[in-house]
Amino acid sequence: MPNTFTPQQFLNRELGQLEFNRRVLAQAEDEAIPLLERLKYLCIGSSNLDEFFEIRVAGLMEQIKLGGIATGADGMTAQLTLKLVREQAHQLIEHQYQLFNAEITPALAEHGIKFLRRTHWTDDQRAWLKDYFFREVMPVLTPIGLDPAHPFPRVLNKSLNFAVELQGRDAFGRNSTRAIVQAPRVLPRTILLPPDISGCEYGFVFLSSILHAHVDELFSGMEVLGCFQFRVTRNSNLFVDEEEVKNLRLSLQGELPQRHFGDAVRLEIADNCSPQIEALLLKEFKLTSDDLYRVHGPVNLVRLMEIPGMVERPDLKFPVFVPGVPTVLQKKGADMFKVIRKSDVLLHHPYQSFKPVIDFIQQAASDPAVVAIKQTVYRTGADSALMEALIAAAQRGKEVTVVVELLARFDEEANINWANRLEEVGAHVVYGVVGHKTHAKMLMVVRREDGRLRRYVHLGTGNYHPRTARLYTDFGLFTCNEEICADANEVFSQLTSLGRARKLNHLWQSPFSLHTEVVRAIKNETLLAKSGKRAHIIAKMNALLEPVTINALYEASQAGVKVDLIVRGVCALRPGVAGLSENIKVRSIIGRFLEHTRIFYFRNDLKHDVYLASADWMDRNFFRRIEVCFPVLDKKLKKRVIDEGLKAYLQDNCQAWEMDGAGQYHHKLARMAAKKCAQGELLGQLASASVKTTT
């Protein structure tokens, strides 16, 4: 089957992302999930939509603005995609607020967690909040009256603002009828009242309610006719021409502040906003009514994410668990190098602890026998024990090389700060390859042993980020296999030096060999099936979009290969279509943890090849990023990856969603069969503390 594509064979990426958000929102609807966790899912869905507008919708609008008429593999133009996205986003956001107001808020109130509405404040609450306003809020507000001397202020991306309608003249005789009040980001968006004032265990008031109640204090002697909250979402893509700049870091530092003021792509306003203010805001932000979202409630639900942390109600949250540690590492002060020399070590996060990774680099930093450390950094957070260990290693005179990806979206500032600190202590800091993001997760330690140098590596599917290691599912592998270590060293050399890519022993690498090897492995299963042998492919990833790979999977299906795909997010492949993909099944797992693992299994005539990777099957991962895909060679560890990372998820009948050929997802619920929840069972198997396995 040649690589010729018809649009009917592919699903749209943007619409697929909205489908993913529907599955996240379904978690907020699920009454089997603890109530405060349902609130979190609502916030996560809102955060996902923010980024969707900032990046994907912004990209569509920019493409249309520049006159682009190109279509994707699905054949849809940017204009048609944007039209459908707007329609579905309006429906999704409306449902989101209906769920918040009609289900989650009343359910929280039944448990003594209340959002106190302004119209229902008692005299004591009103007095407490008035004092709070004058003491904590008013001193940091800067209301701006709109007149020729005070043009419309610059509005930060996703900030909380208020448009105020006024009547009367001020002290200077001005009769401007409109003003803007911007809520500084230093102010909390939800304020917890004392129980004796709120009348319940946890009584919260929105900052917007406090400002609405006291807005007349900001405009002395004038009549406030209306006060309406609004929020604008802006294009957050960074425009840095890597080919033209001489210093990427300096150019990026100059561009980052402008991210907050990119072109507007969405306007959210209160549902009671007057037509006059609506028209003013749309004109100011150069948007149309299609970009306007009227909401019944806070214009930024993401801010409610802090509430579960403020409420001490363990019964309304997921059970606490302690990540497990492999037996070989449980001895206090275990020598990581000695353990890895004995055998490879596999970590499955978050069920198993990320601490061994921190121990590994901290031991390397303090070990006199260690002469060099090399690491890639994509996302690591503003506070990182790993980065501190690298700094300490450099201070001790070790050769430290860090490949920092400056263009890791929304982590650019943190990465620049780490790069500065590393350079200050003498570490070698490089920024990868122009035009290719460094997304590979690699850590290598070089140690002098018995008169020779030995290399140790850690390769992973996720970032070196201790916080997300508690929230994302990922695998990490420690090994001192000489060929794999030599491959990792070669990739580091490509990133820091110059020269042609050499053939690697085991690693598949983007942009050179990963795509070729993945397609080759798929076609190998196809040939085995055509020769009458049993063939099977299982692949787990975040997204599946690349057309040539999808076409190879279609061909494999038609040859009789059984294909099981576990795709958390967007999948452009249509499964179960007669004559095209009858043997392909696609499922998505949405649960307590964000599924982030990339695993590729090929039966390969009973060789059972298993690979872990930093890459999804997307164009950008195959062709525009530095990625690594590495085999699991140890038979016991290979079985663990198959059992824990694939079989458990294929058997899940609690948190699984199965996709049909039209791109719609159906929740696969246990009925007659026993309940199988992959994440819950893995917590029970691998975590140290006992937990429930149903959620």
How high does pLDDT run on average in the chain? 90
The CATH architecture of the domain made up of 327-500 is: 2-Layer Sandwich (3.30)
Instruction: For the domain made up of 7-316, give the CATH fold.
Output: polyphosphate kinase like (3.30.1840)
Instruction: Note the pLDDT tens digit of each residue in 520-532.
Output: 999 999 999 999 9
Instruction: Note the pLDDT tens digit of each residue in 355-364.
Output: 999 999 999 9
Indicate which residues carry an active-site annotation: 439
184-217 b/e with 16+ CB inside 10 Å = b?
A: eeeeebbbebeeeebeeebbbbbbbbbbbbbbeb
Lowest mean pLDDT among 5-9, 322-326, 598-602: 5-9
Residue 616, pLDDT above cutoff 50: yes
pLDDT attached to residue 315: 96
Q: Where in the chain is the domain with CATH 3.30.870.10?
A: 327-500, 509-686
Q: Rounded to an integer, what distance in angstroms lies between the CA atom of residue 46 and that of residue 25?
A: 9
Residue 416, pLDDT above cutoff 90: no
Q: Residue type for 476, please?
A: G
Half-sphere exposure of 200 (CA within 13 A, CB side): 17
Instruction: Note the pLDDT tens digit of each residue in 315-346.
Output: 999 999 999 999 999 888 889 999 999 999 99
Q: Rounded to an integer, what distance in angstroms lies between the CA atom of residue 542 and that of residue 468?
A: 15
Q: Rounded to an integer, what distance in angstroms lies between the CA atom of residue 124 and that of residue 45?
A: 36
Instruction: Note the pLDDT tens digit of each residue in 22-65.
Output: 999 999 999 999 999 999 999 999 999 999 999 999 999 999 98
Q: Where in the chain is the domain with CATH 3.30.1840.10?
A: 7-316
The DSSP string of 392-404 is HHHHTT-EEEEEE
pLDDT attached to residue 262: 83
pLDDT attached to residue 175: 63
CB 659 within 8 A of CB 683: no
CB 288 within 8 A of CB 294: no
Q: Residue type for 620, please?
A: R
Q: Is residue 243 very low, low, confident or very high in pLDDT (cuts 50, 70, 90)? A: very low
CB 47 within 8 A of CB 233: no
CATH 3.30.870.10 assigned to domain 509-686? The reply is yes
- Residue of 461, 681, 479, 475 lying closest to 592 (CA atoms): 681
pLDDT attached to residue 53: 95
Instruction: Note the pLDDT tens digit of each residue in 366-414.
Output: 999 999 999 998 777 667 888 899 999 999 999 999 888 776 455 566 7
Q: Rounded to an integer, what distance in angstroms lies between the CA atom of residue 33 and that of residue 48?
A: 20
pLDDT attached to residue 242: 45
Residue 519, pLDDT above cutoff 90: yes
Q: Rounded to an integer, what distance in angstroms lies between the CA atom of residue 540 and that of residue 538?
A: 7
